[in-house]
Structure 1
Amino acid sequence: MSDDVSHELLGLDNVLVPVGDLGAAVSFYERAGFPVAFRLDEAGIALLKVGKETPGLLLRLEDELSPRPPVWASARVWLEVRDARATADALTAAGIPPLAPVFTVATGRTVEIADPWGNVIGFTDYTKRPELARRP
């Protein structure tokens, strides 16, 4: 790419997440701790908040999408949390089992979940690299 600043990457916009049932998806993600910013059933979308940032997870209804298990060779979205172990406990209490036990990564710990359509969301903390965390 050239040095043209018009092509400079400035940050994330929304992350689109395909789902087969908008109501069930909103319910699942609310149980996982995501507040709903807005929901437009007639458009088949709902935006979920991620922290104090404006972009979020944009659930998008795909009529032909049926429930499926997660596939390793697919994109994953990881979100920062203060404590991945506490997040794993809260998810389990909400009826959302982690895909695997909490595991160690370069910055700290991570736990992953999958929605009914196989979309994988990870929650990672910065306990090993607190200087990189959004909040101390």
Structure 2
Amino acid sequence: MSDDESYELLGFDNVLFPVGDLAEAAGFYERAGFTLAFRFDEAGIALLKVGGETPGVLLRAEEELGHRPPPWPSPRVWVEVPDAQAAARKLAAAGIAPLDGVFQGATGWTVEIADPWGNVIGLTDYTRRPELGRRGRSGPTPLSR
């Protein structure tokens, strides 16, 4: 695609996750610390808030979809948290097991979980590089322009 034909990517709208049971999925994610922005059963959708951002994780009911483990490799959506190790402890207290243990990366720690339909969410922090995290940045970043 040439520059004359290209388009500008403005940012995320929502991340869509297919789920087999909307009520079960909403309960799972609420236990995992997400806030339910809305649930519209007639349309088979529910929106989970992610921080103060407008886009979120949109759960979409797919009635024929049964419980399954996540395929490997599978797409992952990572959400920034202040402390991934603390998040892992809260998840364990809520009965949600991580896919693996908490692991360290270049910017900090991450814990990944999978919902009953195999959708994977990672909770990641910037404890090793706080200047790169949301709390450490000041002013617009390349992604927010």
TM range (shorter): over 0.9
The structural deviation recorded for 1:72 is: 1.8
**What's the % identity of the aligned pairs?**
73
Q: Describe the superposition over 1:62-101 as per-residue Cα deviations: whole angstroms up to 9, x where unpaired.
A: 0110000111221110000010100000000011011111
Q: Hey, which bits of structure 1, 4+ residues long, moved more than 3 A?
A: none
For 1:114-129, list aligned pairs within 5 A: 114-129=114-129
**Residue of structure 1 in register with 2:52 after alignment:** 52
Aligned to 2:33: 33
* Structure-1-length-normalised TM-score: 0.96
How many residues matched?
Answer: 136
Q: Which residue of 1 aligns with 2:141?
A: none
Q: In 2 relative to 1, CA 30–4 (structure 1 residues): closer, same or farther, beyond 3 Å? A: farther
Q: After TM superposition, give the deviation of residue 6 of structure 1 in Å.
A: 6.4
Q: TM-score, normalised to structure 2's length?
A: 0.90
- Gapped runs of 5+ residues in structure 1? none
C-alpha distance in structure 2 between counterparts of 1:126 and 1:3, whole Å: 35
Q: Which amino acid aligns with 2:63?
A: D
1:91-115 superposed Cα distances (whole Å, 9 cap, x missing partner): 0001101111100111111000000
CA distance in 1, matches of 2:132, 2:18: 30
Q: Answer yes or no: is 1:87 the counterpart of 2:79.
A: no
User: Paired residue for 2:43?
Assistant: 43
RMSD value, Cα: 1.2
Instruction: Give the drift of 1:2.
Output: 2.8
The unaligned stretches of length 5 or more in structure 2 are 137-145
